[in-house]
Amino acid sequence: MAKKRIIQAINEALVEEMTRDERVILFGEDVEISLFGDTRGLSQRFGPSRIRNTPISETLITGMALGAAAAGHRVVAHMMFANFTYTGFDSIANQAAKLRYMTGGQARLPVTYVAAYGGGRSIAAHHSDTPYPLLMNLGGIRVAVPATPEDAKGLMKSCIRSDSPSFFLEAGGRGGEMGEVPDGDYVTPWGQAAVRCTGGDVTVVAIGSMVKLAMVAAEVLRNEHSIHVEVIDPRTLVPLDEACILSSVEKTGRLVLVDESRDSCSAASHIAAIVADKAFGSLRAPIRRVTVPDVAMPYAPNLERLVMPSVERIVATIQQLKDSRP
């Protein structure tokens, strides 16, 4: 076990998987120079037959990824920013998400789409979307949203080894965050949430980069207000560990969802609907969501901070919920 940055953990997973399986190839925008650091050193180590820069054409990247996967490669398609995925979305939504079903499982499509999501870096609307709600709705794409270096490595390995197409979404600008990473080979399982801290007063389901904020809020609430929060990190949104979330809500009777996507049709809204359907009788207060308003992400840092979830918003929401009468 050693402490590593998230971006180091992702890079380590890529190196190990490419060493383990020569069918793994990686291509995308600027992957040879590695602007983010996640593909650093791969070009020198594995050469141009397995690591390639592509033109700035997302339609090309997603189409080539699909074809290469169908031909027997295990493909990592680096899209850089999640917003860029929209340009190449036809191959993802109309082909990758559907072909396994349409061929009765005969077509294997081991494609891992890698993209950085989210705000907090003041790089404006075209680079700051959080698109996992859109991906969740496709019906045939697995979605991994790691919050820690350990899960970043384990989920990258799970994505690459899957025979179904997967999205690996890394929180933009948070690659330097540190955490313990186990030694040796391991994978993080699909559809198995992690309980990051236990508590009996309120359940908080926080997605991806929001886990860190939720943990800080939980500490503030425990130390300053004697409110004990249970923080759940789903780790994967497709498949989603409903059982873990429902079990926690049945214990606490209260639910707050912290989600960096826009509020309408968000992951938070979907999870809220599941809990309302399956654990309504356990709720002692309304479900609350801490999300981004239905606006484009502002460029101005002060406005960006205004729309993003924050520790202060999470604390205030939980206080109001705890004070509400059943």
Question: Is 127 assigned a catalytic role?
Answer: yes
Angle at which helices 267-278 and 242-252 cross, to 10°: 60
HEC profile of 280-306: HHHCCCCCEEEEECCCCCCCCHHHHHH
Q: How far is CA 205 from CA 66, 91, 180, 287, in A?
A: 33, 31, 22, 11
Q: Outline where DSSP puts E strands in 73-165.
A: 74-81, 111-117, 142-144
DSSP labels, 151-206: HHHHHHHHHHH-SS-EEEEEETT-TT-EEEE-SS---PPTT--EEEE--SSEEEEE
Spatial separation of the C-alpha atoms in residues 110 and 104, rounded to whole Å: 16
- Phi then psi dihedrals of residue 257, to 5 deg: -115, 130
Candidates 127, 225, 228, 270; catalytic one = 127
Please give the structure tokens belonging to residue 307: 């729309």
Name the residues annotated as catalytic: 127
